[in-house]
Amino acid sequence: MAGIGLEPREGFEWSRVRWAAPNARRTDKCSYCGGALPVDYEAGFWLFSRKGYCATFCKACQTRWWGLECFDEPEDLPEVLDEADEA
């Protein structure tokens, strides 16, 4: 796992990661804790092994092990963008 510049936090166990086969259907479970992922879940973070196996993490695991936080997209984007278009 060298070379990506992102390391899991202390206590993370690589042996617990359930890697999905390269052509497997998209997983509906967290590859680490096994928790169910929402149907429309969009993982912000995927791990791929050199052989193409991939792992997905639920938001809790992303935050706990990788220090990543997810935010919902704002519903109202600033209208400043519209004005810039007209200029």
Nearer to Zn ion, 22 or 35 (CB): 35
Amino acid type, 82:
D
- From CA 50, how far away is CA 23, in angstroms rounded? 14
Nearer to Zn ion, 41 or 53 (CB): 41
Which of 6, 21, 24, 33 touches Zn ion (CB under 5 A)?
Answer: 33
DSSP string, 37-74: PPTT---S-EEE-TTS-EEE--HHHHHHHH-----PPP
> Which of the residues 48 through 77 are near Zn ion (CB under 5 A)?
58, 61
Q: Point out which residues bind Zn ion (CB under 5 A).
A: 30, 32-33, 35, 58, 61
